[in-house]
């Protein structure tokens, strides 16, 4: 099975999706389409996730290019961890991220 890397909490919720205050902070902080494109702005994906798709990264390096060391530390304090996630299928590959079905 293929796998991707994600930053998730214990409920498998990514740091942009949850109802925690930190999620809103990250959505606001990462609103630069050049550096942090949503999947609909990421060349190669060019659409929003559908159905059960999740966003992630092909490698730890790609994840760490997205999140700074300080951001990862802050997320860890709020219960998020870097996880290697087995997926059924990688459905789209962009320049900065991927979409997959868990």
Q: Is 42 exposed, middle or buried (0-12, 13-18, 19+ CB in 10 A)?
A: buried
Q: In the chain, how many domains are there? A: 1
Starting at the edge strand that comes first in sequence, how are the strands of the sheet with 98-101 ordered? 53-56, 98-101, 89-93
- Its pTM stands at 0.90
Q: How sure is the predictor about 1, in pLDDT bands with cuts at 50, 70 and 90?
A: confident
Q: Give 62-92 pLDDT, tens digit per residue.
A: 999 999 999 999 999 999 999 999 999 999 9
Residue 95 has pLDDT above 80, yes or no: yes
Q: Nearest-CA neighbor of 55 among 39, 78, 71, 75?
A: 39
Is-contact 17 9, C-beta < 8 A? no
**Domain span at 72:** 3-101
Over 80: is that where the pLDDT of 102 sits?
yes
């Amino acid at each position: 099975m293929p796998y991707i890397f994600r930053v998730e909490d214990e409920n498998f919720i990514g740091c942009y999706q949850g109802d925690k205050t930190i999620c809103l902070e990250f959505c606001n902080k990462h609103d630069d389409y050049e550096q942090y494109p949503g999947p609909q702005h990421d060349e190669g994906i060019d659409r929003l996730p559908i159905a059960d798709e999740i966003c992630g990264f092909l490698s730890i390096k790609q994840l760490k290019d997205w999140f700074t060391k300080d951001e990862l530390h802050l997320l860890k304090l709020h219960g998020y961890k870097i996880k290697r996630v087995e997926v059924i299928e990688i459905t789209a590959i962009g320049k900065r991220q991927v979409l997959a079905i868990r």
